[in-house]
Structure 1
Amino acid sequence: MSAGLAPAAPAPEDGEPTGRLARLWAFARRPLIVLFFLGVAALLVSQARQIDWAEVSQALRRLPTFTLAAALALAAVSYLTYTSYDLLGRAWTRHTLPRRQTLGVAFISYAFNLNLGALVGGMAFRLRLYTRLGLSQARTLKVLALSMTTNWLGYAALAGALLLADVVRLPTRWSMGPLALQLLGAALISVVLAYGLACAFSRRRRFTVRGHTLELPSARLAGLQLLLSMGNWLLMGLLVHVLLQQRLPWAEVQGALLMAAVAGVVTHVPAGLGVLEAVFIALLGRQLPHGEILAALLAYRVIYYLAPLGLATAWHLRLEAQARR
């Protein structure tokens, strides 16, 4: 994503009302965000009081060793799949960092991204690590942009398909009905198709948006983006499905995971803490005891979030020590 200059847009005739609205939003933004987070915190506390934590502990102890081993294997393959996004970026930008270093940067960034948020992990760590390894900021931003596009491209395809198939069923008290969800699914599929068609047939390969030049990859690269990303999201859903000991249909578990992922992004809660659990209980709590769902999700957090974070932290400290020497 290289910087560019965009022509200045003419000022709108109703600039004064627009300016007043902007100032009003700037004034009200922080209080509204604080109120939102207080509401989320109150909801989480309310739900935590209703949970039988002794039941959760018992369900955790009942998880078979084979189930945990299978979950670890799926997590390892998922991380390898995700880090391959940066190999696509390496091929696209034609940078010459070794594949081992590229995979290492992607792994560290992904682990911190999951636990601390996209700004810290997905962006800050990539920028710091890649530039310290000698990659220019412009190429680093292109790798980052391709990785983010890859991640959400597969999400849109998979979530769109599940929504169109009417797999995801929201609680009746929620406002969105089946038709609205199917329309949302169709919209997500349309975005994926539009991206693929643009990569395959667009004569114009570069677009300037807010001073940044966006470049379309080739159709082959777009296809690899879609396959890798869908594969990664499927692996994550299968991991939770295994930890739930396959007591629910895979498609429903996958749908709940996808809904929880976007809810975590919207709320900006680090690691989706509490959000993941709330969404799973809301969508699947009528079919399984809450304690068993929470036990599976706690195991998922340890295997997919905390264990890789510990490894990524040690790896990052080693890289920092090498850089100082």
Structure 2
Amino acid sequence: MTQARATEHSTHGFKRWKKPLTIVFFLLLIVLFTLLARRIDWSEVFDTLGDFKLQTLLIAAGLTVISFLVYASFDLIGRTYIRQPLRWKQILPVGIISYAFNLNLSAWVGGIAMRYRLYSRLGVSTSNIAKILGLSLATNWFGYMTLAGVVFSCGLVTLPPGWKLSSGALQGVGVLLLLTSAGYLAACRFSRRRAWTVRGIEINLPSLRMALLQLALGALNWSLMAAVIFTLLPGQLGYPVVLGVLLISSIAGVVTHIPAGLGVLEAVFIALLQHEASRGSLLAGLIAYRAIYFILPLLVALVMYLGVEAKAKALRVKKTG
């Protein structure tokens, strides 16, 4: 068997098993969350939600606004990458709307379909939209890998006894993530080949300066997400622990492909932190986080999107008139 056939065979095998394994993981997650729900004191959950101070909610909302602006600025890097003269006032709304829909309705709806629709209205070609999308995804996960690498390798997250993945193994994962991040930076700095063509779309390796900006913005956004959760969870929990658990739960959310990661975030947080805080207080904080970071921005983004569509329709009517 040639190397090409072997690669094709392994790829086909992965695709064949990917869906069944995802379904099994999803079913196990439902069982886990059901068992946890039975052990939660729901009266404590409602009491904790009712006891949130206005100042706490405002701080969480402010951090959410900053996080959305940081994520939307990923596309500002994309503007430089495609070298197209778009104004920041045009780009930021697209990033905010896409991020809100992405969080709640999956990457296909928000990250891809919404970006294509909105950027095409701004006169951006399909190939350049693909480049912006690719750079945004790379910025997000490059920042994740670097931040997770630091958090995991430093042992800031301690897994409960009995978990198949030990804390030592998690540190090893952190080291691998840091090596991968360092490899990306080295490629941006030293690689002689700067462009590849994938399915007719040219992909250019960014400069080292742009890659460092990707790292900073990507890591900052993940840190802000953790800061929102940290603000809403019990005070005895340290920020590095909350950040580490968020990073772990995010991978579980990607694996299951569940819109908004419903149930995944809560299950992982409760499983990892129930020995440090009550399940009821943890769930109350995560419910507040979903309301502030997911639901409210989606409502705002929906209004923004309807405004963009109405403006585009008015322009079409004016041109035809």
Q: TM-score, normalised by structure 1?
A: 0.90
For residues 248 and 173 of structure 1, the distance between their equivalents in structure 2, rounded to whole angstroms, comes to: 22
The 5 Å alignment of 1:166-315 reads 166-209=155-198, 212-315=201-304
* Structure 1 residue matching 2:268: 3-state secondary structure: helix
The one of 109, 119, 132 equivalent to 1:143 is 132
Mark the CA change 1:112 to 1:165 in structure 2 (over 3 Å): closer, same or farther. Answer: same
Offset from partner CA, 1:48-90 (integer Å, 9 cap, x none): 2222211100011111111111111111111111111111111
For residues 69 and 75 of structure 2, the distance between their equivalents in structure 1, rounded to whole angstroms, comes to: 11
* 1:106 alignment counterpart: 95
* Structure 2 residue matching 1:214: 3-state secondary structure: strand
Structure 2 contact 22–255 (Cα < 8 Å) conserved: no
Residue ranges of structure 1 left out of the alignment (5+ in a row):
1-10
For residues 119 and 81 of structure 2, the distance between their equivalents in structure 1, rounded to whole angstroms, comes to: 15
The 5 Å alignment of 1:95-134 reads 95-134=84-123
* Structure 2 residue matching 1:166: 3-state secondary structure: coil
* Structure 2 residue matching 1:170: 3-state secondary structure: coil
Q: Which amino acid aligns with 2:117?
A: R
* 1:8 alignment counterpart: none
Deviates more, 1:100-109 or 1:228-237: 228-237
* 2:319 alignment counterpart: none
* Structure 2 residue matching 1:213: 3-state secondary structure: strand
* Structure 2 residue matching 1:95: 3-state secondary structure: coil
The one of 39, 52, 62 equivalent to 1:63 is 52
Q: Which amino acid aligns with 1:295?
A: A
* 1:46 alignment counterpart: 35
Structure 1 contact 151–229 (Cα < 8 Å) conserved: yes
The 5 Å alignment of 1:309-324 reads 309-324=298-313
Q: Which amino acid aligns with 1:193?
A: A
Q: Which amino acid aligns with 2:108?
A: L
For residues 297 and 17 of structure 1, the distance between their equivalents in structure 2, rounded to whole angstroms, comes to: 42
* 1:153 alignment counterpart: 142
Tell me how far 1:45 sits from its aligned partner: 2.3
Q: Which amino acid aligns with 2:153?
A: L
Offset from partner CA, 1:180-210 (integer Å, 9 cap, x none): 1111101100111111111112121113456
Mark the CA change 1:175 to 1:24 in structure 2 (over 3 Å): closer, same or farther. Answer: closer
Q: Which amino acid aligns with 2:48?
A: A
Tell me how far 1:280 sits from its aligned partner: 0.5
Q: TM-score, normalised by structure 2?
A: 0.91
Tell me how far 1:99 sits from its aligned partner: 1.1
May I ask how many residue pairs the two structures share in their alignment?
314
The one of 2, 7, 12 equivalent to 1:12 is 2
Tell me how far 1:18 sits from its aligned partner: 7.0
Offset from partner CA, 1:231-280 (integer Å, 9 cap, x none): 11111111111112532111101101111111111111111111000111
Q: Which amino acid aligns with 2:271?
A: A
C-alpha RMSD of the superposition? 2.3
Q: Which amino acid aligns with 1:292?
A: S
Structure 1 contact 127–140 (Cα < 8 Å) conserved: yes
Tell me how far 1:212 sits from its aligned partner: 4.7
* Structure 2 residue matching 1:120: 3-state secondary structure: helix
* Structure 1 residue matching 2:202: 3-state secondary structure: strand
